[in-house]
Structure formats: C-alpha cells, structure tokens
Amino acid sequence: MKILYVITGLNFGGAETQLMRMVRYVVKNTSDEVCVVSLIEPEYQGFVEELGKLKVPFISLNLKKNGNFVYAIRNYQKVLKQFQPDIVHTHMIHANMFARVLRKKNSGYRLINTVHGEEDFLGKRAKLYWITDRKADYTVCVSKALEYQMLHVKAVSKERVVSLYNGLSTEIYCVKPEIRREYREKLGLYDTNFNWIIAGRLSPEKNHSNLLEACELLDAENPNWHLLIAGEGVMRKTLEDKISKSEILRDKVQLLGLRSDISALLNASDGFVLSSNYEGLPLVLQEAAAVGLPMVSTDVGGCNEVVLEGKNGYLVEKKNSVALAEAMLMVMNLTEDEQLKLGAASKKLVEEEFSMDQVMKKWYQMYKG
C-alpha cells in the first residue's frame, strides 16, 4: 500500500505531531510506502530532518497567500502521478480543501480528511466542507464532540463522517521516576510545591491569560504552587508582561519556550492544567493522562473524553478564572493516595483508547475499506 500524507504546514503543533506519529508507525511496523506533502514551507525543521532519517520523501508545495497556486497545483499533481498513492490522507482545513478540489473522478485512491479542531469548520468554512463533501471518502474527527459539532452545523453528511482518536506511544509517554528526579532538579522544582504544567501554542484560543488570573486567585488560598508554561507563539510578549508586573506570578511561573521534551516535563510535574477557549482533542491532554497526572481542563471540544469528571480530573467552564482556580485547589488538597488514584485512572484510559497500536489498527481498517 502507498500512503500520501498531506498537511497544511509541517510545523510544531498537535496535528503535525500526530501525522509524524502515524508516519513513524507505518515505517517501523509495515512494509507500506509513505510520502509527505506540506502545502506551505515548514518553519520548524525538526520534523523535516526526521523524515529524512526515516527515508520518507518530503515535498513542500511552497504555497503562498499571494500567488503561485498554479505552481503548487502542478507540483501536487506531479506527486500524485509519480507516487500513485492508494490512500491520500490529509490533515487541517487547507490541506483538506486542496485535496478535495483537486480530486478527479476515478482518481484511483481513497481520500480521507482529518479535522483536528472546530476552527476547521467555523463560519463559512462549514459550507466549504458541505459543498465538497462527496469528494472525500471519509471526514475523520479526532473526538466525538467534533463529529457532533460538524453534523450540527451541517458541514458533513452522516454517512461520511466518523470519529477516531489521536494515538500516542505509551513507551514514550509513561511514568519515568529517574527522569522526574533529573528534570525537577534542572527546573528548580521543590517537593513542597504543587508543580503545574500547561503545554501548547501561546495563542489567543489557549487563553493562558485566564490561567494566570486563576493562579493569582489560587495563591490567596494556597501559595505552595509553581507553573511551567511550555510552548511558543504570538502571545508570548503579552504573557511576559503580565508575569513580570505581578508580584505573585514573577517567581512562580516559568516560560520554557518551544520544547521537544514534553514527556520529561510532564514527568517532572504534579498536575496538568488546560485553559483553552476551544479545542478538538488536544494531544497534550492524552500525554498528561499517559504520564498519570491529575488534570484540570476547560470543558471544550473533546476534552471531556480524556478528563473524566471526578475520576481522573476536573472540568470547568471556559473563560472562568474563579472556577479554574477552585478546581486546581481541589486537586492540590487531595491526599497523595487520592492524586495517585486519579493518575491510575488516566493511565488505564490511555491504554484502552489512545495507544498508537489500537489507533493505527482502526486507521488501517479505514484505509483498506
């Protein structure tokens, strides 16, 4: 089987990370051929370098907002002709639409689109999905919540949409006591504090500002906390200013920047917190669950499919810093045994629903029809 993966841009984000996990799995566990196409030139070179090491062909169509569409289309058609895929599997709105529009009748391949977040089909984008619905064999949502939302806004037909969770390696994302000790020392984390972590793009929809407000409220009830923020993005300067101007936050919040050692950072932490305004199903929640961390998350998208209220964490409404602070305090006030019980429930959920082996078996069933 020949699988062509197409993505809007091979940068450092959840959709890109999931695509790379799929590529690694196919290369290491099957004899199938893989090729990866990015519509735009990647800003992050780490994945490109890894594809080279895996001996997976990578093509950037170098598509730009201000033109060169004809060049990009010709290059894509050239890839289709030379590679002759059995499966074209696309990720993110622009790649999904690009592949749909350019698919010809009797193309000879199955076209599968993956939707990673509700931003893919908000507003007028829902109509784009609907009018091109028949061009795809399947539209796959990364959570049941996204599938429901797409149907609700009439972006897809019922017979062509399914939900299938992202997967992760439970060998990489697992409890590692030696890494925990090493990284807590590196990061200057104290056992007397409860060390929270959030990881992801520093972008408006992640609403880190709401989390910082919650931390200030939390401090009035329990000052023994610390927060690690891993990620990079357009909101960095805003967050830096907010942290530097607050006597409470200044010494208790660390901006770590873009990191490739998320598994180690999760191992070093005591709890995971997510403050997003909207999500599909964030990979980092699954990763935190695999490491066995108690979790607090806003109840958006598919987050409630990973954070099970009272069983492995707590859910709060979005944009509510008071509720977020209360949930974080609730976790901190649990006994060590109660926190471990939450973590054990998370690990069990990951093994049953999110392991890469389980997820890729389902993908291959879809690939083979």
Please, which pLDDT band fits residue 66 given cuts at 50, 70 and 90? low
Residue that is written with structure tokens 């569409």 in the block: 69
Segment 355-368 mean pLDDT:
94
pLDDT in tens, 291-333: 999 999 999 989 999 999 999 999 999 999 999 999 999 999 9
pLDDT in tens, 4-15: 999 999 887 889
SS (H, E, C) the chain: CEEEEEECCCCCCHHHHHHHHHHHHHHHHCCCEEEEEECCCCCCCHHHHHHHHCCCCEEECCCECCECHHHHHHHHHHHHHHHCCCEEEEECHHHHHHHHHCCCCCCCCEEEEEECCHHHCCCCHHHHHHHCHHHCCEEEECCHHHHHHHHHCCCCCHHHEEECCCCECCCCCCCCHHHHHHHHHHHCCCCCCEEEEEECCCCHHHCHHHHHHHHHHHHHHCCCEEEEEECCCCCHHHHHHHHHHCCCCCCCEEEEECCCCHHHHHHHCCEEEECCCCCCCCHHHHHHHHHCCCEEEECCCCHHHCCCECCCEEEECCCCHHHHHHHHHHHHCCCHHHHHHHHHHHHHHHHHHHEHHHHHHHHHHHHHC
Classify the phi-psi angles of 103: left when phi > 0, otherwise alpha if psi is within -120 to 50, otherwise beta: beta
Segment 337-346 mean pLDDT:
95
> Of 3.40.1280.10, 3.40.50.2000, 3.90.1300.10, 3.40.640.10, which CATH number belongs to 2-164?
3.40.50.2000
Burial class of residue 35 (count of CB atoms within 10 Å of its CB; 0-12, 13-18, 19+): buried
Residue 45's pLDDT is 87
pLDDT in tens, 144-201: 999 999 999 999 999 999 999 999 988 889 889 999 999 999 999 999 999 999 999 9
Domain 177-353 has CATH 1.10.132.10: no
Per CATH, 2-164 and 177-353 having the same topology is answered: yes
Residue 67's pLDDT is 66
Single-letter amino acid, residue 86: D
Segment 207-224 mean pLDDT:
98
The domain ranges of the chain are 2-164, 177-353
Please give the model's pTM, rounded to 2 decimal places: 0.88
